Amino acid sequence: MKHLILFAFLIIGLSSVAQTSGEWDEWQRTSCYSKISFRLKEEPRQGEQHHWKVQFRSDYNELISFNYNVTDKLQQHSATTHRKTLQANEVSGEVDIYAKEADIYLLVDKVALSPYPENFIKCD
């Protein structure tokens, strides 16, 4: 199972580092789902913690939900795992992410065309 999760991070995960504090990065499509994008904004550090804000954007013409997981380093320290629901063509509100390391990895998976985690769609 660990090998499968590691493989998923290598295939689907995106290493992301914000460019300039206070400015949003360009929208990036997830590597598995071309109709789901995200962007990051680096915030001032909170003590020893690196701080980012993330937003998600759906280009689907219907409601979707998906899991997202943010880790610092490849599976070393999980910063957050949540499920997000977006309406058709919606941009999410800002989500705060705190991590020990400067590099973070974002994984989006278990996408469904409903608010429930069931009947997941495959990568496109």
**Predicted confidence (pLDDT) at residue 5 exceeds the cutoff of 90:** no
Of the pLDDT bands very low, low, confident and very high (cuts 50, 70, 90), residue 55 is: very high
User: Taking residues 23-49, what's their average pLDDT?
Assistant: 93
**Predicted confidence (pLDDT) at residue 11 exceeds the cutoff of 50:** no
Q: Are 8 and 109 in contact (CB under 8 A)?
A: yes
How many C-beta neighbours within 10 Å does residue 29 have?
15
Give the residue from 12, 5, 123, 115 showing the smallest Cα distance to 65. Answer: 115
Single pTM value for the model: 0.77
Torsion of CA 109, 112, 113, 115, to 10 degrees: -110
Q: Are 95 and 54 in contact (CB under 8 A)?
A: yes
Q: Which residue has the higher pLDDT, 120 or 79?
A: 120
**Predicted confidence (pLDDT) at residue 10 exceeds the cutoff of 70:** no
**Could you give the domains of the chain?**
2-112 (2.60.40)
Q: What is the mean pLDDT of the chain?
A: 82
**Cα gap 83→68, rounded to integer Å:** 6
Which pLDDT belongs to residue 15? 42
Of the pLDDT bands very low, low, confident and very high (cuts 50, 70, 90), residue 26 is: very high
Q: Which two tokens stand for residue 84?
A: 């997000």
**Cα gap 35→21, rounded to integer Å:** 27
User: Taking residues 50-73, what's their average pLDDT?
Assistant: 92
